[in-house]
Amino acid sequence: MIIDAHQHTNWLGRNTNALIENMDAHGISCSWLLTWDGPLEERDPIYYRVSDPRRTNLPLDEVVEACQRFPDRFIAGFAPDPRQPGALERLEAAVEMFHIRVYGEWKYRTLLETPECIAMFHLCGRLKLPVIIHLDVPFLPPNDLSKVFKWWFGGTIENLERTLQICPDTIFLGHGPGFWRYLSGDGDENPEVYPKGEFIPGGKIAPLMRQFPNLYCDLSAGSARFALGRNIAFTLEFIDEFQDRLLFARDQFDNLMYDFLISLNLPKPVLDKILYQNAIRLVPLDIRK
């Protein structure tokens, strides 16, 4: 079995039917289907070339429709914008009416530990919804404060650390370039959005995971693959230590992360945890018909 813990419909040129065909082609049994809420001005216009041009976001109604059509293939996710009035109530209603199981994808141009976000994350903890966080740093090194990275979300790894401290009963999955850049020790110095090159010891993700058992990793997209590919010896140690908190995910429609994991020749029990068992432990497969 394979569970894709980060996916969207009407995304990168694929509607729900095409997504199902793609899942079948890659042997994926089930996908966590996520929204991307929030205002138009927070979105890089490039996304309109790869998503449904009739939409300004990836809305809840499309997730609900897909889950109703294919109840055995999708887990419903929804992340209402915490800054909007009634966001908490919207989430509670969606959980009750549409069996929302995941809060995701959180991707907003605000710091993670703002009061509105913390209230939302506490609610997710009470509702037992894992939270998928997309991080992109506000300033790329050398941190010239006159040059804000326009498409930033959430803040830095320090903002995530404070959120983990405040919300110990909420499960967070780190995702995005602003998260995975800190696997290596050059996260605060490397000027690239997707750092490559020599891996530097002393990254901040592993210590955070040792300190906070509520931090998990979303292995989707190039950001995770590039980071894990920089030093295979370190990656094998990282996977061995945190095998119970790594979730296979794509956020795309290729098979590159799966192929990368297979290339590592991981023990089958470890690979099975990453491919589906950890996801089922967080969100059991008791999808309502």
pLDDT top residue among 189 and 78: 78
Taking the alpha carbons of 79, 33, 47, 248 in that order, is the dihedral positive or negative? positive
Q: Which domains does the chain have, with CATH numbers?
A: 3-282 (3.20.20.140)
The length of the chain in residues reads 289
Decide: helix, strand or coil at residue 144.
coil
> Which pLDDT belongs to residue 55?
67
> Which pLDDT belongs to residue 38?
79
One-letter amino acid at 7 equals Q
Return the H-helix or E-strand segment holding 196: none
Give residues with Cβ within 8 angstroms of 143, minimum separation 6.
188
Decide: helix, strand or coil at residue 142.
coil
* Interatomic CA distance for residues 39 and 56, integer angstroms: 8
pLDDT tens column, 228-278? 999 999 999 999 999 999 999 999 999 999 999 999 999 999 999 999 999
Alpha-helical segments (H) within 128-231:
157-166, 177-180, 205-211, 221-228
Give residues with Cβ within 8 angstroms of 24, minimum separation 6.
none
pLDDT beyond 60 at 287: no
* Interatomic CA distance for residues 52 and 84, integer angstroms: 24
Phi, psi of 152, deg, nearest 5: -95, 155
pLDDT tens column, 170-194? 999 999 999 999 999 999 988 888 9
pLDDT tens column, 17-58? 999 999 999 999 999 999 998 787 787 777 777 767 666 678
pLDDT top residue among 270 and 151: 270
What confidence category does residue 11 fall into, taking pLDDT thresholds of 50, 70 and 90? Answer: confident
Decide: helix, strand or coil at residue 4.
strand
